Every structure is written in C-alpha cells, then in structure tokens.
Amino acid sequence: MAKFTAKPNELSKIDYTPPKTHWLETPVEIREHMFCHAAKPKDLETVGFPYGREWRPNDEDWKLPENWKTIIFEGMRSLLKKYRSFQVFMDICVRCGACADKCHFFLGSGDPKNMPVLRAELLRSVYRGNFTLAGKILKKLAGARKLTANVLKEWWYYFYQCTECRRCSVFCPYGIDQAEITMMGRELTNMLGLQIGWIAGPVANCYMKGNHLGLEPHTITSSMEFFLDDIETITGIKIEPTFNRKGAEILFVTPSGDLFANPGTYTAMGYLMLFHELGLDYTWSTYASEGGNFGFFTTNDMAKRLNSKIYAEAKRLGVKWILGGECGHMWRVVHQYMDTWNGPADFLEEPVSPITGTRFDNARATKMVHIAEFTADLIKNSKLKFDLSRNDHLNVTFHDSCNTSRGMGLLEEPRYVLKSVCNNFYEMPEDTIREKTFCCGSGAGLNASENMELRMRGGFPRANAAKYVHEKYGVNMCAAVCAIDRVALSTSFEYWVPGVAVCGLHELVGNALVMTGEKERTQDLRLEPLPGKEVAE
Amino acid sequence: MRLSDILSKNKSALLDMWFEVMLKAYPADTAVFMRDQKKQFANPVGYTMSSELEKILSGLIANAEINSFTPHLENIIKIRAVQGLTPSQALSFVFLLKDIIRGQIKGDMSVNEHELKEIESRIDSLALTAFDLFMNCREKIYELKANEARNMTFRLLQKAKLVCEVED
Amino acid sequence: MGSIVSLIAVIVLILIAYTGVKAANLHFLFGVVIPYAAVTVFLTGFIYRILKWASVPVPFRIPTTCGQQKSLPWIKQNKIENPSSPFWVVVRMALEVLVFRSLFRNLKTQLTDGSRLVYGEAKWLWLAGLAFHWSLLIVLIRHSRFIFDPVPSFLHILEQFDGFLQIGVPVLFVTGVVLLVSVTYLLIRRFFIPIVRYISLPADYFPLFLIIAIAITGIEMRYFTKTHIVGVKELVMGLLTFNPKTPEGIGWIFYVHIFLVSALFIYFPFSKLMHMGGVFMSPTRNMVNNSRVKRHVNPWNYPVDVHTYEDYENDFREKMKSAGIPVEKE
C-alpha cells in the first residue's frame, strides 16, 4: 500500500469497503506496520535453524527453497503424527462461530482472518486438500485448497498475528486451541527459515549467552548494582545478592527483562528486598538467567533446548528447589512443558518454604514454585509486615496474564498478595479478567516496534477495560505478573489510556514491605515521593 | 422550526447514518458485527465509535464549545489511526456529516440557510481538529517505539552512561 | 453459494431414492443393500477415525484452565474448570458434553450485563445447539421401538413424556418438533449472521439440509401418510436378523427417509460430524491440570543439542572471574 494516496473522487462517493469475495479466494495483502521484520540469517544459523537468508515480508519473492512444498507436507505429516491436539483440531471444528469475536486482534482490527476459526481454517484448508479423502475428492466443496506461495504467505502473516493467548479455546465447545494451531503453523514456517527477527534474535542470544538480551555474565551483575543502589537510597539497606552460588537452597529464575527493562526492574527490586528481608538462602544464575523462552514461539525442540538450562543449573548448583519470578509464557512452559521435556527433576527436593514450612504439594514433581504462590503463603502465615499506606497513591487493578490464567490457573494468589499490600484495589470488568482476560496484544514474540499498529489494535480490548476502571475508580496502576505485559501494556496504555502505569506484583510488595533496620522511607521504588512525604518546595 | 430542533428530533437517524460511514472501513461481514454487538467490552471498537459519535453529534447540535467534545473525537481518531487507513480515509467521516445533515433536511423549506452554514462551519472546524489529532496519534506511535526501546534496556543504557538523572 | 450446492445435493439424493423406488422398483437396493452398506461404512469409518486419533500421542499436558488452580490449601480451587483429579475431569467433560458448558460461557456474561438484552445470538446458539442434540438423541432412541420385539417398557415411558402434550392421533412427539425447529435455526443463523456466513462451507450446510430432510420425511410418515408401521418393523427386524425382506405396502417416502439416513451415516465418518467422537479426545479439555504434581511423559521425547554450562563457562570464564562470579575451572 502506498503511504498516503489521495483519491480525487467526490467525497460522498468514496467507498472503502473491501471487495466481497470468499476468504478462500481473497489473497493475502501483506500490510506495512502489521508484520515483524525477517530474521537475520546469522541468528538462525547460531541455533541450526534451516534456510537463513535475506528476505523481506513485503517482497514478492520470498526466496523459498526449491522443494518447499515437500518440506511443508512432510512437516505437516510429521506434526499430525506427533500431536493429537493438532490432528483432532484439524478434524472436528464445526465452524459454529463461538470463538469468532473472542480474539483481541479481531476485535481491534475487524479483519475476518483474525477470527480464530478462520485463522485455523487457513491451515485446515490445506490439510483437507492433502490429508483427507473428502478434501481430495470434493476439493473446494469440502473447503480444501492447494498449497501455493500465496497461501504460505497468508499463513505466515496471520500466524504472526496470533499471540497464543488461548482465549478462543475457553469459549470453544471442543476446546480447540488456536495457540496450538499457531504453534504448528510456526513450526512449519520455521522449516523454511521464515522466522521473525524479534524472535530469532532473542533465541540465539538466549542459547549462547543464557538470556534474551544477550547479556554476558559480568554485565548482569554490574547492571544489578544500579538498582541495588536505588534500594539503598530508598531503604538505607545494602543488599548483596549472590550469583551461581553452589549449595544455596533455592535457585531463583526470572525473565531477564526484569533486570533491565522498565518497569520490570522495579519488580526485580521487590524480589531482592523480599528475599533479603526473609534471609532466604538463594542464588541467581547467569547461565540460566532467562525465565522466558522465545524458543517456545519457534519450535518445540528449540523451546526444550533453551529450557534445559534451568534444570541443568539447578543440578550443578545443588539447590533443593527452584523459585520462579513473574512471567507469563515462562510459566506456561514451566507448568505444562518443563518436566516433560527435561525432567524428571529427581535431583531436587519437594519444595518447602524455609520460612513457613509449607510444603508446595502442587509442585512436587516439577519442583518449581511461582513467586505469587510463595509470597501468598508468607502473607497468610503472617511472616511479613506491610505498611499499606506506601501504596496509597496508587489505585490498582490487576491484569491476568494469558498464560498464567489459561495455562495454569494462577488467579487468586496474585490477588491475595495485591489486596494484602495495597488499600485501593479495583477489578476490571468481569468479561475481561481471569480466564476471560484479554491479551496485552504483544505476546508470543510479537512485541517488536515495526508492528506497532498491530500491537495497538490487539491491545485495544485490554486497554479499553483499563480505561473503564481508570475513569470509574481513578485507577492509575495496573499490576501484571508477566514481563512482556509490563513492557507492552506500558506502551499500549501510553497510547490508549494515558494515566495508567504498569507494574509487577512484587514492586508493590517491595513498596509496602517493612524491612528490619530500614530508614524512614520517603520514596517508592520508582524514586517518586511517597504520599505525604513530598518535599515541600 | 429551528435547525437544531430538526436535528435533535432526527438525532438517532443521523447517528445511524454517520456510524455506517465509519463502518465502511471494515469488510462488510465484520462491519455488521461492529454495528450489532453493542457491549462495551465484547466489541470495544464498535462501542467506542458509536458512543463517541453520539456525544460529538449532541455537542454539535447543542452548539457546545468544540473543545468540550474533542476528547470524544480523540477516542475515535486513536482507533482510526491504527487501522491501516490513509489520513483521507480515516478522517472523511467528519466531512461526510455535512452530506448526512443535508440529506436529512432535504426539501424542508423551513430550514434557515444561515443556521445550516453555521453548523457546517463548525463541522469544518471539527475536521481541522481531527487532522491535528490524527497527526498527534501518528507521532505518538513513533514516540512509543522510541520510548519502549529506551525502557526495554533502561538499566543497560544507565550502565553505559547513556542516560542519567539530572542531579539535584 | 455453498448452501445452494448443499441443498441441490440433498434434493438429488431425494430424487435418487424416489425414482429408484417408484420408477425402477429397486426396493431391495434401497431398503436392504444401501442400509447395510451405510451401517458398515459408518461403523468402520467411525472406529477407524477414533483409532487414528487415539494412535496419535499427547506429548504434553495442555489443559486450558478456566478457573483457579489447586495450589495452597486455603485457596479455593475451581475443581470443574481446573480439575486436578480424573474424577473432576469427568465432571468437566460431562458438563461439556451434556450441557455445552463452554458455549454457555457466552450466556453467562450476557446475564451479568443486567441492562437490556443486547447480544441474543450467543444464547440462541447454545440453546438451539442443546435442543438439537438432545432431541436428536431422543428421536434416535425412540426409533429403537423398531428393533425391539416386544417394545421395552422404558421406551413406553419415554414416549409418554415425549408426547405429554396429548395432541393429535398419533400423539405428537415434542422432540420431533424441537428437532426440526432447532436444526432450522442452526441453518438460518448461517444465512443471517454475517460472520458465521463468512466462515461457513458447503460441509456446514449439507448435514443441516440432510437432517432437515430426514426430519421432515419422518414427521410426514408419522403424522400425515401414516406409514405402514408393521411393514417397516418387519423390514427392520429382517435387516437386524440378517434375513432381509422388503414387505409390500411401504410407501416411497419411507425409502427416501431411510436413504437419507444412509447418506448421513456414510457421510458421517468423513466429515466434521466426527466432533461427536472428537469432543472426548480434545487434550485441552480432557486432561488433568496436575503437570507440576505428576510428571507427564512424552513418548517421542528425544535428546536435543544444548549449550551446556561448560560451553558457557568456556566462553566467559575470564569475564566471570573478574566480576567475582564463581567458576568451575580456574
């Protein structure tokens, strides 16, 4: 599309309505600001992904390998034999339309191919044409079509317009999960080197250096100094965390974004303060310095390769169990995949809170506990002292992250913690929280900058609900237990609802936590004055 | 009858027509969803557009200060600015209100030409405001990209001494 | 477009049966051969599809959790929406299969809205879907009076309930009417709701038209032409005892009816109608959310290349040492 084209028609006669054709016959239009740039060849080569090359999504020629169709068909055949979910979801959709209006991208764009059912049909149509008897005989009548370069482009375009949030799956009478289909679609595109840079870069970094940003060990420790200094400024307490320490009781793993990205760093400050106050015997790791897993947005094997570091490091350091920070897709992976991929974790012990003695039975095989579970237990057992007034300048709401709500069920723990550390808590409307939560619009590796328009569209349903509580209750802070949320919602709200900031759960914990030996606090973790403590001009 | 009375009386019809104009940016099959699903959270785009158009139209008819209803215009423009529309596509809806109003009062001899001119001139002012708002939104998007890039590596930039707080 | 093709297909099927019986006198073909073939195709096809699904492994435990997990003992778990034991999975599945709980979710948000009824369709989809499937099941059970001799007492009771309105002779069965009304609604929504029309394929219209035609011919025989029931029962019993015969006096409309049913049976295993079996096999619904409690084994799990700690330390040993991070090898 040309940037701006004036149409010299009489105003009232201009009709923007796109031509009406059946979706099977409507070729994809790859539009600027909706897609992410292609992966750099070197990032793909680093992890051994095939067909790294220079190409651009809006080029006519994607420089596909000669035998690309064979690769796709072989790939589909293999995936159909490996995943019952894929095989069943290809077969049983009745196109009832219950999922159609549940996708944040559809709601924000009105593009019919963003309806989960249709996004799945893009792949199903090729499946029917090549893997089912009815499709082979009845062709188009059975909704089958041939695989062409245009179809492949359409797959790519729309599978990188799905954030794998699973909201559609909640409403589907058969539980058909578009996330599962997108994952298969991305496996297929990855076989042809059609990966996006925003995912491939972090994957290569994480593989070689242990985290998405590609930070080397000494950079991790020295960067943390900055917020250790900030903590000292705020509380007068100097915290000295340890790294790669053998013999610690607990290994702590969190998304690396929390160490460098605002507002995630404030959450990391909260972790540090909490652990210090508890006197927890724990260590950070520079090797397993990434809780997140962008490999999960490429292929199953890649996700497993990145994830392997967590157990390997826990074993090497000889810890008893693992504590996980606030992250969305990290927890989908930890909860539903990690043990299966890289377990059994028989070298670890069943997690027991050293402070309360609570045994985390719900994590007895995987041996990894979510920090919201850990902190909720501390609060329930009255092990922490809070000064809630330090959060009184905030009217807080809570955004359920897609993965922790629909791929785990972590709903009440963070709410319990929030209500224990702040006085002003307001829920967003019921249709937009808990299992029905709306995605931030930037998950599954789509939080790049070149697709900002797509992200803003996809973020609108969530922001719209935040706007509602902003206007109704004066909500000015949205807590989220996900590192991508913290970055992406900040951006989305800056556009849609200026006046609502985003924080992690443990930032608010850190604010309210009364620490032994602390000085009288005048600032919150963002170094902003606390209510009533503003310096008189 | 005064023009404002005629328009108030026909407000819901005018509003329907104006909303239809907005929907032309969407494929026919989904436009109906945008129009018919009236719930605020199940259809945020359609709801925002229809409820804000209503407020703008009321403001125009009541001869209210244009600044008083630009926030409503802004809520619409924010959506239009990220829908892949050209500026002319995104903003034509403001001008088309003139056509809609003229269509509504066609043949009504009692309409005072002066009043009509006045409201049309107000619509023109609204259009100019809309241009400003649209440009602000587009600029904001670029600003978002820059801010986000800065935030995502804030501590690293701090480490590299590329950002620092102003010392008191 | 897709709907017209499907409608024509059903009309052609009717004409085939009509001419076959009326003009060509192929009673045996339509009354015996085709029904046998249809049942054979249905059973083998259905079993084949189920076995095919069952033969594909479920590598990961991926339930879609729609409620609070089981974690700390003092936090109330939503046992149905986030089951942590097989028993509650059965409950979840039962609610899914028997009352379409997930579709109902649309309705729930509807009711909490409080104000006016703004989005009726979601509710009607749930209601019509439920009415359709249940009445179809009851109609099917009622038909078993043709295969039992004597007719068992539970069928009499069922028929009494079904005919509670006590209208007409023979008494009107409510389920027949409900079936026809609900299936018609399911068809009409595909015409009139734009986004549903947009996603609909011929494969969505065809079974609806087919079922409507089956219901109409069935109702026609019961209430209007009053088919020769004794003859029909004789035919069906003959089929069942592998002693097939085609008694005289059965009208052509019966042959159309049984031919359409045969077509449905043959079509079934090749189509989306297999959701009947598939709903039980959906991993996002039929799995226990206990992946951190009990290790789930992936049968095709294989070793992958990893970047080991040793590799990592080799890359960064000096930098680690200077930053005071402990290393394995000095």
pLDDT exceeds cutoff 50 at B57: yes
On whether any CB of chain A is under 8 Å from the CB of B132, the answer is: no
User: Hey, which residues 56-115 in chain A have their CB within 8 Å of chain C?
Assistant: 80-85, 87-89, 91-98, 100-101, 112, 115
Residue of chain A whose alpha carbon sits nearest to that of C3? A141
Local structure of residue A286 (DSSP, 8 states): S
Q: Is A339 on the interface with C (CB under 8 A)?
A: yes
- From A340, A376, A405, residue closest to C295, measured CB to CB: A340
Q: Considering only alpha carbons, which residue of chain C is nearest residue B37?
A: C119
Domains of chain C as residue ranges with CATH: 2-303 (1.20.950.20)
Minimal Cβ distance to A95: which of C105, C204, C295: C204
Chains near A, with 3+ CB pairs < 8 A? B, C
Sheet with A368-370, strands from edge to edge, namely A282-283, A250-253, A321-324, A368-370
Backbone angles phi, psi at A119, to 5 degrees: -60, -35
CB contact A343 to C (< 8 Å)? yes
Which residues of chain C are within 8 Å of residue A138 when distances are taken between CB atoms?
A: 202
Give pLDDT tens digits for C219-238: 988 888 877 888 888 898 88
Which tens digit of pLDDT belongs to each residue from A384-426?
Answer: 999 999 999 999 999 999 999 999 999 999 999 999 999 999 9
Encoded tokens for C320: 């680690």
- Answer whether C118 sits within 8 Å of B32, measured CB to CB: no
User: Residue A397's beta-bridge partner residues?
Assistant: A478
Question: Per CATH, the architecture of B3-137 is what?
Answer: Orthogonal Bundle (1.10)
A40-79 per-position pLDDT tens digit: 999 999 999 999 999 999 999 999 999 999 999 999 999 9
Residues C53, A84: C-beta atoms closer than 8 Å:
yes
In sequence order, what are the residues at sequence separation of 6 or more whose Cβ sits closer than 8 angstroms to the Cβ of residue A4?
B86, B87, B88
Contact (CB<8Å) B42/C195: no
Instruction: Give phi and psi for B86, each to the nearest 5.
Output: -75, 160
Closest among A384, A332, A328 to A355, alpha carbons compared:
A384
Residue with tokens 């397993």: A288
Cβ neighbours for A19, distance < 8 A, ≥ 6 positions apart: none
Q: From the list C72, C203, C289, which residue is nearest A409 (CB)?
A: C289
Q: State whether A16 and B40 contact (CB < 8 Å).
A: no
Q: Could you tell me if A466 and A500 are in contact, meaning their C-beta atoms sit under 8 angstroms apart? A: yes
Instruction: Work out the minimum CA distance from C129 to partner chain B, whole angstroms.
Output: 21
What is chain A's alpha carbon radius of gyration, rounded to the nearest angstrom? 24
pLDDT at C202: 92
Q: Cα(A283)–Cα(A280) distance, rounded to whole angstroms?
A: 9
Q: How far is CA C269 from CA A134, B147, C38, C130, C277, in A?
A: 10, 55, 11, 22, 10
Taking contacts as CB-CB distances below 8 angstroms, the residues of chain A near B151 are: 261-263, 487, 490
Rounded Cα–Cα distance for residues C51 and C28 (Å): 33
- pLDDT for the residue C119: 45
What tokens does A514 get?
A: 């009364």
Contact B152 A260 (CB under 8 A): yes
Say what the pLDDT of residue C116 is.
41
At residue C120, the pLDDT reads 53
Least confident range of A13-27, A480-494, C26-40, C227-241:
A13-27
B144 and A491: CB-CB below 8 Å?
yes
The closest alpha carbon to A96, from C97, C190, C284, belongs to: C190
Can you give the pLDDT at residue C111?
41
Tens digits of residue pLDDT in A346-397: 999 999 999 999 999 999 999 999 999 999 999 999 999 999 999 999 999 9
Q: What is the DSSP string of C162-178?
A: HTTT--TTTTPPHHHHH
One digit per residue, the tens of pLDDT, for chain C of length 330 reads: 688 999 999 999 999 999 999 888 899 999 999 999 999 999 999 999 999 999 999 999 999 999 999 999 999 999 999 999 999 999 999 999 999 998 888 755 444 444 444 445 677 889 999 999 999 999 999 998 888 878 888 888 888 888 887 777 778 889 999 999 999 999 999 998 888 888 999 999 999 999 999 999 999 888 888 778 888 888 988 898 888 888 888 889 999 999 999 999 999 999 999 999 999 999 999 999 999 999 999 999 999 999 999 999 999 999 999 999 999 988
DSSP alpha helix (H) spans, A165-247: 167-171, 178-191, 197-209, 217-235
pLDDT value of residue A1: 41
Task: Quickly list H helices, A210-364.
Answer: 217-235, 257-260, 264-278, 300-317, 328-333, 339-342
pTM attached to this predicted model: 0.93
Task: Give how far A233 is from chain B: nearest CA, Å.
Answer: 14
Boundaries of every domain in chain B: 3-137
pLDDT at residue C121, rounded to an integer: 63
Laid out side by side, the sheet with A501-504 consists of A396-399, A477-480, A501-504
pLDDT at A18 over 80: no
- Residue A27 has a pLDDT of 85
Q: Which residues numbered 31-90 in B keep a CB inside 8 Å of some CB on C? A: 31-33, 36-39, 42
Chain C touched by A514 (CB under 8 Å): no
Return the percent helix, strand and coil in chain C, to nearest 5.
Answer: 65, 0, 35
Chains touching chain B, criterion 3+ CB pairs below 8 Å: A, C
Cβ within 8 Å, pair C284-A85: yes
Q: Which DSSP category does C221 fall into?
A: I
Nearest Cα residue to A269 out of A517, A505, A534, A519: A505
Whether residue A537 is predicted with pLDDT greater than 50 in this model: the reply is no
- Is residue A4 pLDDT above 70, yes or no? no
B39: nearest CB among C113, C197, C198: C113
Using CA coordinates, name the residue in chain C closest to A404.
Answer: C65
Contacts for A151 with CB less than 8 Å, ≥ 6 apart: A122, A125, A126, A145
SS (H, E, C) C61-94: CCCCCCCCCCCCCCCCCCCCCCCCCHHHHHHHHH
The mean pLDDT of chain A is 93
Contact, C180 vs C173, CB < 8 A? no
Distances (CA, A) of A464 to A133, A452, A461, A526: 46, 17, 5, 26
Cα dihedral A161, A163, A165, A170 in deg (nearest 10)? 10
pLDDT of amino acid A16: 52
Q: Sorting pLDDT into bands at 50, 70 and 90, what band is B40?
A: confident
Percent of chain B with pLDDT over 70: 95
Which of B6-15, B77-86, C34-43, C220-229: highest mean pLDDT?
C34-43
How far is CA C31 from its chain centroid?
27
